[in-house]
Amino acid sequence: QKEVEQDPGPLSVPEGAIVSLNCTYSNSAFQYFMWYRQYSRKGPELLMYTYSSGNKEDGRFTAQVDKSSKYISLFIRDSQPSDSATYLCAMSFAQGGSEKLVFGKGTKLTVNP
């Protein structure tokens, strides 16, 4: 079983739709959970990060973490064509002097006008 699983998509939605992006993980040691957005030929841009179970909202974006189910989600409300990008989940932990960061493979999203 891979440490982080992310459906690669591609996902295509009409403008204004609610988008749900998800990742599952197997290592309960992960403490920090992040979502990045990557446009073509650009570096990933940090969208959201959280370190606890529950929801965190920022504008049209909501990050959700369920540690008991080892499941994280990113919701995009009122999606726009400019949201078309690849979305990467990432998670990390630091323990006993060692640190580990793992990325999902990314989900390619297209929002159609």
Residues in contact with other proteins by the rule CB under 8 A: 31-32, 34, 36, 41-46, 49, 51, 88, 90, 92-94, 99, 101, 103-106, 108
Give how far Cα 73 sits from Cα of 65, 96, 111, Å.
Answer: 7, 28, 18
Residue closer to other proteins, measured from CB, 43 or 113: 43
Least gap, CB of 23 to other proteins (angstroms): 12
Residue closer to other proteins, measured from CB, 15 or 53: 53
Give every CB contact of residue 11 below 8 A, 6+ residues apart in sequence.
Answer: 19, 21, 107, 108, 109, 110
Residue closer to other proteins, measured from CB, 34 or 111: 34
**Contact criterion met (CB below 8 Å) for 82 and 72:** no
